[in-house]
Copies of this chain bind each other. A is one copy, B any other.
Amino acid sequence: MVEGLDDRERLAWLRLYRSEGVGSQTFRHLLQSFGSAAAALDALPELARRSGRERPLRVCPVAAAERELAGLARLGGRLIAEADPSYPPLLAAAEGAPPLLSALGDPGLLGRRAIALVGARNASANGRLLTETMARELGRLGWVVVSGLARGIDAAAHRGALETGTVAVLAGGIDQPYPPETEPLYREIGRGGLLLAEMGLGCVPQARHFPRRNRIVAGLALGTVVVEAATRSGSLITARLAGEQGREVMAVPGSPLDPRCRGANQLIRQGATLVESAADVDELLAGIAAPSADDYMFKNNGVSEIPNFASQPAETAPRSPAEARLEVERCLGPSPVPVDELLRQCQLSPPFLRMTLLELELAGRLQWHPGNRVSLLAAGMRTPE
């Protein structure tokens, strides 16, 4: 079991993750390269300067991070870092999992087997009834029910599992129930269940936060059940993310005459398992053992490791660092290229290439792909993390 962070490193994690340009992937690459968040924070300004950013990168000040920790403590909440034993192991194994989560309520729920139940906000009365019943029965069968605290299906899922254990993932900060009408349910979950948020305290949820919320919902669960989802809905995104992580994707069918069921029916046509009840879900997942923290912890988050290139030759022709950097950019394009190949073609020292890639990443210009491959993002495609 990995030991948790000490207070100083925890504060450094929070500062690093709240710094401009540092998403979950870049965070991990920085940690890999510098050994600790504190060391990465020290190196950040210089790395950013070299990356060709137009203006300096804003590093999260100590005071802001301390304010967030204090505010969280006042609410009765805490920060859960990926290096903590209580970080949910299944989520740790999911691509793009946040290295830090704010948590309010009972973190013990993160150690149990979880199912995500998601669906339409404008759900039918039957859809809500079915969801609440399914959540209640899943709870009795020992499952924790995860959802996104939206209106409709999400709310029904949480409500059905309030007594047995439910986890709500918020799109904004942990103190920002959204939409406002979910506040009473939010309070109940804070008392009897668990609230989770990736964003900082006070962050009002914006459109781009919802897919990230959905990714966490899918990542926490062994499987995702979609009830009453229209085509092109957020629930289908959650289902797709679950499928991409190798989790079970399930859907409750409905009449083709109801547009609210088309998305769920479409999922089934695309290969999702049709489920009608908690028993169906339980039976389907019975063979999957509860994940053990030791299996996952801090081993694999779908993040490509920047290789150490230990056995590779050093550069042969000396160049200025600026020339070498340009050479790397020239070798990169919109098609993913293996890092090994880059190293061979650019004839650079491995540590130098490693830092150059980190710089491009911090500038939001580099994308990592499976199999240790990288590509350059076109100017219009850059991620404003």
Contacts and interface: CB of A to CB of B under 8 A. Distances in A.
B257 A129 contact: yes
A86 interface: no
Contacts of A274: 253, 265, 268-269, 274
Interface in A232-259: 252-257
A78 to B, nearest CB: 39
B269 A273 contact: yes
A130 interface: yes
B273 A253 contact: no
Given A262-B276, A276-B262, A130 B257 contact: yes
A304 interface: no
B255 A256 contact: no
Contacts of A269: 273-274
A124 to B, nearest CB: 9
A379 B116 CA distance: 55
A160 to B, nearest CB: 15
A19 interface: no
B277 A253 contact: no
Contact of A126 (B252, B255, B262, B268): B255
Interface string A66-79: 00000000000000
A254 B130 CA distance: 13
Contact of A130 (B126, B253, B255, B276): B255
Contacts of A252: 256
A273 to B, nearest CB: 7
Interface in A175-226: none
A129 B269 CA distance: 22
Interface string A265-299: 10011000110110000000000000000000000
Interface string A105-137: 000000000000000000000100110000000
A273 B253 CA distance: 13
A5 to B, nearest CB: 46
A253 B274 CA distance: 9
Contacts of A276: 256, 262, 265
B277 A130 contact: no
B257 A255 contact: no
Contacts of A261: 253, 255
Nearest to A126: B257
A256 B253 contact: yes
Contacts of A254: 253-255
Q: 10 smallest A-B Cβ distances: which pairs?
A: A253-B253, A256-B276, A269-B274, A268-B274, A254-B255, A253-B265, A126-B257, A265-B274, A265-B276, A130-B257
Given A252-B256, A253-B255, 14 more contacts: A126-B255, A126-B257, A130-B255, A253-B253, A253-B254, A253-B256, A254-B254, A254-B255, A255-B255, A255-B261, A256-B276, A262-B276, A265-B276, A268-B274
Interface of A: 126, 129-130, 252-257, 261-262, 265, 268-269, 273-274, 276-277
7 contacts: A253-B253, A253-B254, A253-B256, A253-B261, A254-B254, A256-B276, A269-B273
